[in-house]
Structure 1
Amino acid sequence: MGELRFVDVCAGAGGLALGLERAGFRPVLLLDRKPVACETLRRNRPTWNVLETDLLDFDPAEHQETYDVDLLSAGLPRVKSSATVARVGTEDELRLLEATVLLAHAVRPRALLIENVPGLVDSPQFETVREFIHKELEHLGYRFRWFVLNAADFGVPQVRKQGVLVALQDRYFDAFRPPLPTVGTHVPVGRALRDSMGARGWPCADAWAAQALSVAPTLVGGSDNRGGADLGPTGSKKAWARMEVNGGALADEVPGPGFDWTPGGPVSGMVKLTDGQAALLQAFPPEWRFVGRKTARYRQVGHASPPPVGEALGQAIKIALNA
């Protein structure tokens, strides 16, 4: 098989697409409804075909390039764990999940990749959702596998568990294996952020990095309807405080020479991360630029799929399609 082509829906800031690109796939179309995400994609990859539209309104008949691609991928908005998840039509996130599966009817990709919350893999709360997916994919002649990956196992300095569905046309399925970890030791926050912490000459950068020995807790992008950006719920903020990071807000820039840090002091005296440092914790390359104001940039980062995970999944799918 020659060049592998893919369509990426709910592409966001491009984390999954970037990983698939590294694995040897070429996007023929990337779709997202948020203008700021589409602008981020265009800024970083001007040659990519980016369409700003809602997946629920997308008509593949108007985009012939989407037909007969090798892969349909979707890093979808996180479905909610609640007593109402069985009502697919009442949850925006579940409607997008349903629309992605139905899109496979028209696109007929050789493989389908959906990334979401770990609970989607085996939680009883999502049984109705899985039954719908199974019925549709079996009708189309796909075989599929659910599994959970932790981004930290792929060199991402963050504990980020992701539920994954990979479906392939029958003739390719037996050659598919979920990706194995690519690192034997997880990357701690201090190692990932040491250079950026010292970028403005902060003399304590080495000392701070030496004590930030844990992997980051999961970054959470939050809701577009919520207030300013922070590093997540109370438990995450406590974990950040143990690494001398104030998780209550983001900084506009990394510490300078005059930043006064007293280890073990109050949270208010700890360093704050920038949205650029959050992107490093998602393992985006430093040259990847996010557009928008600070909160908008951070939300793109927090909602993204880490590129190394996308690359590992892409490599595993490529092996199956080339078998």
Structure 2
Amino acid sequence: MVIMEEFRHERLSCLAVCAGAGGLALGLEQAGFDPVLLLDNRPVACETLRLNRPDWNVLESDLLDFVPEEHRECYDVDLLAAGLPRVKASAAVRREDSDEELRLLEATVMLVHGVQPRALLIENVSELASKPAYEPIRAVVEAELEHLGYEYAWFVVNAMWHGVPQDRKQGILVALKGDSMRDFVPPPRDTDPPPTVGEALGASMAARGWPHAAAWAAQADQVAPTLVGGSWNRGGPDLGPTGSKRSWARMRVNGGTVATDVPGPDDRWDPSPDGADLVKLTVEQAARLQGFPDDWSFAGGKTVRYRQVGHASPPPVARAFGLAIRAALGRRGPAPRDRQ
């Protein structure tokens, strides 16, 4: 478990768009950035944000319809942060009829022109930051940032490098106004290995008296495969595609669904490697595998709650990059985190 000293230094300002369930904003809050506004077009995501932070200024609106002139608090913020829907490389060749994900990326870069933040942080698929197929998209973003006077860098980061018990790669774009980018140092990887699934979830599996919790946790000795939120428009909750389900099955987890509650004292479990009894994870356990704290709640029914978790950005990664951006801007951050 991560323990953080209470933040005692100067708070900075942040505008968060496509905020989702708040993973990016929560991690940045831990790094000392307070949001002046959070924007998302899904009512349930906005409900989640308000549920956890009643004082946050949450606006339910599509980014493509957002007019910064109507929200003067957004001007001259320290950081513009965007947890954007996953951009597909194929969108780059359809400029007049591009995918919505690409339009949202372009809208975010244009928002830089409107609000003039000191720094920009965009989180997306790892391929956006590294694959040749995405080069046309990167070129458009880079040209606009250079025109606006920003220097930038792309990064591929794995959430498990920052204590998240999940093998989850992310593409990160950091841009800083003027020459501040030369002072940006990418966050270092944790020196300790990330918790395994068993270490992260063992206590919660035992919460209702399941007698097999310790044995299950001992054999769940790997980090989780990437959690996938799936489509908002169809299907029920599951933990990912076929390959991920096979990885879950090796840890004796049913990756095809999500449970309402953890196992109880009468639930069966065969400890043999080829046993047929698989446990199901709850939404709250999935959230822990994303790096959310236990007191972060998600609005809606089970499927919608899991969708929010699966699509979220892990807060510890956002915290790490938030601290690195603070340092580049010349602002002190909180004490390094310790492990318990």
Instruction: Please state if 1:13 is matched with 2:21.
Output: yes
Return the offset for 1:87.
2.0
Instruction: Please state if 1:85 is matched with 2:92.
Output: yes
- Unaligned 5+ segments in structure 1 are none
TM-score, normalised with respect to structure 1 = 0.97
Maintained 8 Å contact 2:165/2:197: yes
- Give the aligned partner of residue 243 of structure 1: 251
One-letter identity of the residue aligned with 1:135: A
1:2-38 alpha-carbon deviations (Å, 9 max, x no partner)? 5310000000000010000000111100000000000
- Give the aligned partner of residue 279 of structure 1: 287
One-letter identity of the residue aligned with 2:127: G
Report percent identity of matched pairs: 63
RMSD: 1.3
Given the alignment, which residue of 148, 170, 174 partners 2:156?
Answer: 148
* Separation (CA, whole Å) in 1 of partners of 2:305 and 2:319: 23
Instruction: Please state if 1:316 is matched with 2:324.
Output: yes
Return the offset for 1:122.
2.0
Given the alignment, which residue of 33, 39, 59 partners 1:31?
Answer: 39
One-letter identity of the residue aligned with 2:284: G
Return the offset for 1:266.
5.3
Return the offset for 1:184.
2.5
TM-score, normalised with respect to structure 2 = 0.92
Q: Secondary structure at the match of 1:299?
A: helix
- Give the aligned partner of residue 136 of structure 1: 144
Matched positions, count: 321
One-letter identity of the residue aligned with 2:291: A
1:188-229 alpha-carbon deviations (Å, 9 max, x no partner)? 000000011001000100000000001000000011112001
Given the alignment, which residue of 168, 180, 197 partners 2:176?
Answer: 168
One-letter identity of the residue aligned with 1:208: W
- Give the aligned partner of residue 67 of structure 2: 59
- Give the aligned partner of residue 260 of structure 1: 268
- Unaligned 5+ segments in structure 2 are 1-8, 332-340
* Separation (CA, whole Å) in 1 of partners of 2:92 and 2:241: 22
1:88-142 alpha-carbon deviations (Å, 9 max, x no partner)? 4420111101100000000100000000001001212111111110110000000
* Separation (CA, whole Å) in 2 of partners of 1:228 and 1:85: 30
Maintained 8 Å contact 2:77/2:116: yes
Given the alignment, which residue of 296, 303, 312 partners 2:304?
Answer: 296
* Separation (CA, whole Å) in 1 of partners of 2:234 and 2:156: 28
Return the offset for 1:253.
0.5
* Separation (CA, whole Å) in 1 of partners of 2:325 and 2:318: 10
Q: Secondary structure at the match of 2:281?
A: coil
- Give the aligned partner of residue 221 of structure 1: 229
